[in-house]
Amino acid sequence: MEQGVGSGDCNVVGIGRPTITTPAAASKILAGESEVIAAHQIGAGMRSVLGRVADLKMIDGGIGPDRHNYQLNRLGQGLEPDLNRGTLAATISMIRKYGRTSVRRKRGI
């Protein structure tokens, strides 16, 4: 990142999603404490069973942004990120917000 900005190849480096679950990410990178900040990913479990009745790509695609939005709301309330919030809680939250069509298969059986 430093080389890219220093050489003029880019003006800015974005580290958005990792900073949602690691709010001090920028400070750690700038202080040389860390070169890598993990982006905590989440995906649906029981894939072989769940894949028969739901569109897994749609669920994973919905859970990720919804989970990051949840973490941003926590940070905005002055709370720490909840890294233990699992797939089930994220899926239920997504279905409550967007309805059952958010997990229904669009084509095929």
pLDDT for res 34: 84
pLDDT for res 42: 59
Q: Which among 82, 45, 44 is positioned nearest to 62, based on CA atoms?
A: 44
pTM: 0.57
Q: What backbone torsions phi and psi does residue 106 show, to the nearest 5 degrees?
A: -90, -30
pLDDT for res 44: 53
Residue positions counted in the chain: 109
Q: What is the pLDDT of residues 61-86, one digit of tens each?
A: 767 777 888 888 889 999 998 888 87
Q: Which two tokens stand for residue 7?
A: 């050489």
Q: What is the pLDDT of residues 6-64, one digit of tens each?
A: 899 988 888 887 888 888 888 888 888 988 887 766 555 556 666 666 677 766 776 77
Q: Which among 16, 75, 7 is positioned nearest to 40, based on CA atoms?
A: 16
